[in-house]
């Protein structure tokens, strides 16, 4: 005979299932209560759909990857009540729902059959990255940014500018020029310089105003609307009629590429002490930190910041957007625009390069004054490529055969005091020039040359006046740079037999080494004793 009484195990299992079911219903009701308090459910039908979802709506009722209609509505509302006019049954991704420039009329048109949208996820690439905008004249503004290379190559989208006065009146630009410096260097984003030209003076009454820049998508794209962003705000009283002509706050401003990598604190210490000495008291340095100014480097630089000789721009965020050498050309143009009315001259070179003026022929102040009088806008100078590892044996003969004594004497020297071997160029032709400009006379620049001048002349300087020594490969060497030694006195004659090292010929060049003591004394007098941190 079969008993109708369940076993203890069966009762326990059914009780467990009952408890789970009740818990799910209670949790669902609480969830519904929360949604209703935000106005997200408005009917018994909404509640029924939500409960059916909670207890397991059949997966076959939805396409793979889709949300239920109730959850779809919930997702749209959580995204800020942005449905773009889509019908309830069309499920889009969260990334799409966040877009704000959608033509809802075109997108919601269901007269062409079943709507099957692409659902974007994440952020592949932005149209334009606005970095910095500056006033260039009473009628012009310059914006340094980066644009999607694919977008610019395929569409070359038009840009427009407008100036809005405090009273709300709008003045539209007469024309907008676009430049792509360094476009041969390929990445996801290219540098794009946007120059807004107005037919009349704008904001010159000193009351302030705002500059807006807009761009359009291709004419055959009915789904996206033109976009506009606030590029520049000028506060009342900032504009001054004499701000575009000398005298300026500084004689020289330094601009360089973004600093990244594991930079040696000692190498950057030597560099800034040398150039603060070389450029004089009325000079200022602008660094762009793309991750290279770590804690030990910051410790070295802080005294110069405190003295007002150096300012640091934090641009580490640009790692999120792939651009050639951390958007190198966008950075140098931003620095050009920032410095154009700060100084008479802006110098562009890197922090492993040392500018030198032949003191027997002139000094830097006299050279720049001479070129200003000759209506010179761009002064381009050549490099001397220095070995990054070949060093001179100490003059102490006893140390030349004793490595420990040699290394002890060598350790007290700065990098440019001991790396004294200069490479012979192939075909006697220097590579990779650097330059200085009168910034107010330049529209756009690149890393190795200014490419668009407003006015003036160019001059490619010979080695008899000004040049730079390039210590390539030393900046991120966190240790002793010298790995090989030679008796430098044997190679003083450039035209004699050179020393062959690392697949190149080298001769001795003591140009920088001979002023090392003066630079060290200047640093000590200016900012005090500093730590030696390789």
Instruction: Give percent of the chain with pLDDT exceeding 90.
Output: 60
Please check the confidence at residue 423 and state whether its pLDDT lies above 70: yes
The 10s digit of each residue's pLDDT in 503-515 is 999 999 999 999 9
Residue 462 and residue 272 in contact, taking contact as beta carbons nearer than 8 Å:
no
DSSP element (H, E) containing 276? helix 265-279
112 or 168: which leads in pLDDT: 168
pLDDT of residue 99: 76
pLDDT of residue 430: 66
Residue 386 and residue 419 in contact, taking contact as beta carbons nearer than 8 Å:
yes
Could you tell me the pLDDT band of residue 290, with boundaries at 50, 70 and 90?
very high
313: left (phi over 0), alpha (psi -120 to 50) or beta: beta
Residue with tokens 């005979």: 1
Nearest-angstrom CA–CA distance, 155 and 259: 32
Residue 286 and residue 339 in contact, taking contact as beta carbons nearer than 8 Å:
yes
Nearest-angstrom CA–CA distance, 321 and 82: 27
Annotate 288-307 with b (16+ C-beta within 10 A) or e (fewer): bbbbbbeebbeebbebbeee
Could you tell me the pLDDT band of residue 93, with boundaries at 50, 70 and 90?
confident
DSSP element (H, E) containing 501? strand 499-501
Cα end-to-end distance, the chain, whole Å: 92
Please check the confidence at residue 402 and state whether its pLDDT lies above 50: yes
List CB contacts of 296: < 8 A, sequence separation 6 or more: 265, 533
> What does CATH list as the number for 245-527?
3.90.550
Whole-structure pTM value: 0.81
List CB contacts of 105: < 8 A, sequence separation 6 or more: 85
Residue 446 and residue 329 in contact, taking contact as beta carbons nearer than 8 Å:
yes
Residue with tokens 């030679």: 486
42 or 376: which leads in pLDDT: 376
What's the average model confidence in pLDDT over 269-273? 98
Query: How many other C-beta atoms can be found within 10 angstroms of the C-beta atom of residue 58?
Result: 7
Nearest-angstrom CA–CA distance, 313 and 317: 11
Lowest-pLDDT range of 10-24, 262-276, 363-377: 10-24
Residue 278 and residue 364 in contact, taking contact as beta carbons nearer than 8 Å:
yes
Positive or negative, the Cα torsion across 212, 217, 219, 225?
negative
Could you tell me the pLDDT band of residue 206, with boundaries at 50, 70 and 90?
very high
Lowest-pLDDT range of 426-430, 454-458, 466-470: 426-430
The 10s digit of each residue's pLDDT in 330-363 is 999 999 999 999 999 999 999 999 999 987 777 8
Query: How many other C-beta atoms can be found within 10 angstroms of the C-beta atom of residue 17?
Result: 10
- Mean pLDDT score across all residues of the chain: 83
Lowest-pLDDT range of 3-7, 120-124, 243-247: 3-7
DSSP-assigned letter for residue 164:
E
3-state secondary structure 188-215: CEEEEEEEEECCCCCCCCCCCEEEEEEE
Could you tell me the pLDDT band of residue 96, with boundaries at 50, 70 and 90?
confident
∠239-453-150 over CA atoms, to 5°? 95
pLDDT of residue 212: 98
Domain ranges of the chain: 21-107, 128-243, 245-527
What's the average model confidence in pLDDT over 256-285? 97
> What does CATH list as the number for 128-243?
2.60.40.10
429 or 272: which leads in pLDDT: 272
Nearest-angstrom CA–CA distance, 11 and 211: 75
The 10s digit of each residue's pLDDT in 303-338 is 999 999 999 999 999 889 999 999 999 999 999 999
Q: Output Rg (C-alpha) for the chain, integer angstroms.
A: 33
The 10s digit of each residue's pLDDT in 12-60 is 444 445 444 445 454 555 544 444 444 444 444 444 444 444 444 443 4
């Amino acid at each position: 005979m079969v008993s109708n009484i369940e076993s203890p195990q069966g009762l326990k299992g059914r009780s467990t299932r009952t408890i789970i079911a009740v818990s799910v219903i209670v949790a669902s009701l609480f969830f519904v209560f929360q949604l209703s308090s935000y106005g997200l459910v408005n009917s018994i039908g909404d509640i029924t759909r939500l409960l059916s979802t909670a207890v397991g709506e059949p997966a076959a009722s939805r396409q793979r990857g889709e949300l239920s209609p109730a959850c779809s509505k919930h997702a749209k509302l959580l995204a800020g009540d942005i449905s773009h006019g889509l019908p309830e049954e069309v499920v889009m991704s969260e990334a799409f729902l966040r877009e704000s420039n959608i033509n809802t009329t075109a997108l919601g048109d269901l007269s062409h059959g079943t709507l099957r949208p692409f659902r974007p996820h994440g952020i592949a690439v932005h149209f334009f990255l606005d970095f910095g905008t500056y006033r260039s004249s009473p009628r012009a503004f310059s914006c340094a940014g980066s644009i999607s290379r694919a977008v610019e190559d395929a569409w070359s989208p038009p840009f427009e500018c407008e100036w809005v006065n405090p009273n709300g009146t709008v003045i539209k630009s007469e024309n907008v020029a676009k430049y792509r410096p360094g476009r041969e260097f390929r990445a996801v984003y290219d540098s794009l310089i946007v120059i807004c030209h107005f037919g009349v003076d704008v904001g010159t009454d000193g009351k302030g105003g705002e500059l807006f820049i807009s761009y359009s998508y291709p004419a055959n794209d009915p789904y996206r609307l033109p976009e506009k962003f606030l590029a520049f705000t000028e506060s009342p009283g900032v504009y001054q009629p004499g701000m575009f002509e000398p005298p300026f706050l500084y004689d020289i401003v330094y601009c360089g590429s973004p600093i990244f990598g594991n930079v040696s604190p000692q190498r950057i210490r030597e560099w800034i002490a040398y150039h603060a000495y070389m450029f004089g008291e009325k000079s200022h340095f602008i660094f762009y930190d793309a991750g290279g100014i770590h804690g030990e480097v910051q410790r070295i630089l802080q005294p110069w910041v405190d003295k007002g000789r150096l300012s640091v721009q934090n641009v580490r965020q640009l790692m999120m957007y792939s651009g050639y050498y951390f958007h190198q050309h966008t950075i140098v143009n931003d620095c050009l625009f920032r410095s154009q009315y700060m100084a008479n001259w802006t110098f562009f070179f890197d922090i492993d390069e040392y500018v030198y003026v032949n003191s027997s022929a002139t000094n830097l102040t006299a050279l720049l004054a001479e070129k200003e009088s000759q209506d010179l806008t761009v002064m381009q100078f050549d490099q001397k490529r220095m070995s990054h590892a070949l060093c001179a044996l100490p003059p102490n003969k006893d140390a030349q055969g004793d490595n420990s004594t040699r290394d002890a004497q060598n350790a007290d020297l700065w990098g440019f005091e001991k790396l004294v071997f200069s490479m012979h160029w192939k075909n006697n032709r220097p590579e990779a020039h650097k330059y200085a400009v009168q910034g107010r006379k330049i529209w756009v620049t690149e890393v190795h040359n200014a490419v668009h001048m407003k006015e003036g002349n160019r001059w490619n300087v010979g080695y008899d006046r000004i040049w730079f020594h390039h210590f390539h490969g030393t900046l991120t060497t966190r240790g002793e740079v010298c790995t090989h030694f030679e008796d430098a006195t044997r190679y003083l004659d450039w035209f004699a037999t050179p020393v062959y090292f690392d697949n190149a010929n080298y001769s001795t060049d003591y140009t920088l080494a001979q002023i090392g003591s003066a630079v060290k004394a200047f640093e000590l007098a200016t900012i005090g004793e500093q730590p030696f941190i390789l």
